[in-house]
């Protein structure tokens, strides 16, 4: 049986593809747990230096599989969030490796918010984003109320969450929600290139950038300066820092190892 999350490793990039294309990669429980398992495997594998998340077929992910939240066997939101979505978001933020979200098609509900918590978010021209929750009487979860106002500002976030407007990737770009948009025909290649570039950079340092950014959302300036001091000391002890400076002085290209 095909896995609901495919893993392919190439050029030190782990590509994780949501694989329920007939349901626009909506998350059932199995897929949410499989994603966590595969993210853990990527974290622990030192040969992987960047993670690339995308969807098979025409969607990125339509969020929670709504067929699993109706009927007699409803697991309950508390269980769904604590077992499925919250651990996905915290894992992505904690992994000390860059995570690229390559939004190939529609990203709705939890699908959109999983993309938005990634380190670099790019989208295909034909992709779209919807905070779909309010249409069915829910509130944005999977970190939506945390990341979206910080990305695009309170007012726009509030309106998008309440109105559940479907916005194009170009609009998302203009709002500052995502980093870049690529034409559909070059999307896979262009987005993968970003992941491959990151994988050849000083990836331990990129992991430290991520940690410093995580705390910047809640720290005072003084606390954040201390955090920078802490992560900079760690960065200064890496092989890649030494190599970067040496290569600069020797006027040659650096050969980073992610160590
Ligand atoms: O515990 C909790 O549940 C809390 C957690 C909540 C997290 C959430 O993510 S809540 C939000 C859940 N997502 C949605 O409400 C989005 C629902 N989907 C849509 O609104 C539309 O499908 C899209 C706007 C995303 C795309 O529209 P379109 O016209 O391109 O595609 P479609 O025809 O609607 O969908 C294609 C198929 O995917 C279709 O199946 P079928 O009829 O061909 O067999 C459709 O039913 C299925 N599908 C799409 N989204 C979901 C889904 N099936 C189950 N769950 C879905 N979310």
Helix (H, G, I), strand (E, B) or coil at 59: strand
Q: What is the pLDDT of residues 7-30, one digit of tens each?
A: 999 999 999 999 999 999 999 999
Virtual torsion, Cα 149, 201, 220, 89, nearest 10 deg: 40
- At 192, list the tokens: 């993968």
- What spacing in Å lies between the alpha carbon of 228 and ligand 1's midpoint? 41
Q: Are 113 and 147 in contact (CB under 8 A)?
A: yes
- Cα–Cα distances (Å) from 41 to 44, 45, 95, in that order, read 5, 6, 11
- At 3, list the tokens: 């896995």
Residue 74 scores a pLDDT above 80: no
- What spacing in Å lies between the alpha carbon of 64 and ligand 1's midpoint? 8
Residue 73 scores a pLDDT above 70: no
Which structural domain range is residue 207 located in?
203-249
Q: What is the pLDDT of residues 176-225, one digit of tens each?
A: 999 999 999 999 999 999 999 999 999 999 999 999 999 999 999 999 99
- At 106, list the tokens: 């529609």
- 237 & 132 share domain: no
Rounded Cα distance, 191 and 207, in Å: 20
Rounded Cα distance, 12 and 44, in Å: 13
What residue's CA is closest to ligand 1, atom 16? 62
Q: What is the pLDDT of residues 226-248, one digit of tens each?
A: 999 999 999 999 999 999 999 99
- 77 & 191 share domain: yes
- 131 & 218 share domain: no
- What spacing in Å lies between the alpha carbon of 13 and ligand 1's midpoint? 29
Residue 161 lies in a domain: yes
């Amino acid at each position: 049986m095909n896995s609901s999350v495919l893993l392919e490793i190439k050029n030190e990039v782990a590509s994780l593809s949501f694989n329920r294309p007939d349901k626009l990669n909506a998350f059932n429980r199995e897929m949410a747990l499989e994603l966590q398992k595969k993210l853990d495997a990527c974290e622990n594998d030192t040969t992987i230096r960047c993670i690339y998340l995308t969807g098979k077929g025409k969607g990125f992910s339509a969020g929670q599989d709504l067929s699993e939240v109706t009927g007699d066997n409803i697991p309950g939101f508390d269980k769904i969030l604590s077992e499925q979505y919250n651990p996905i978001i915290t894992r992505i933020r904690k992994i000390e490796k860059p995570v690229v979200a390559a939004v190939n098609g529609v990203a709705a509900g939890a699908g959109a918010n999983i993309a938005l918590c990634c380190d670099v978010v790019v989208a295909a021209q034909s992709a779209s984003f919807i905070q779909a929750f309010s249409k069915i009487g829910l509130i944005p979860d999977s970190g939506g109320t945390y990341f979206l106002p910080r990305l695009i500002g309170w007012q726009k976030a509030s309106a998008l969450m309440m109105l559940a407007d479907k916005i194009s990737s170009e609009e998302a770009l203009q709002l500052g929600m995502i980093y870049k948009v690529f034409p559909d025909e070059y999307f896979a290649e262009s987005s993968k290139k970003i992941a491959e570039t990151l994988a050849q950079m000083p990836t331990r340092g990129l992991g430290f950038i991520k940690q410093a950014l995580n705390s910047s959302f809640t720290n005072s300036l003084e606390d954040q300066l201390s955090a920078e001091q802490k992560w900079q000391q760690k960065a200064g002890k890496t092989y890649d820092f030494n190599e970067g400076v040496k290569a600069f002085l020797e006027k040659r290209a650096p050969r980073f190892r992610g160590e």
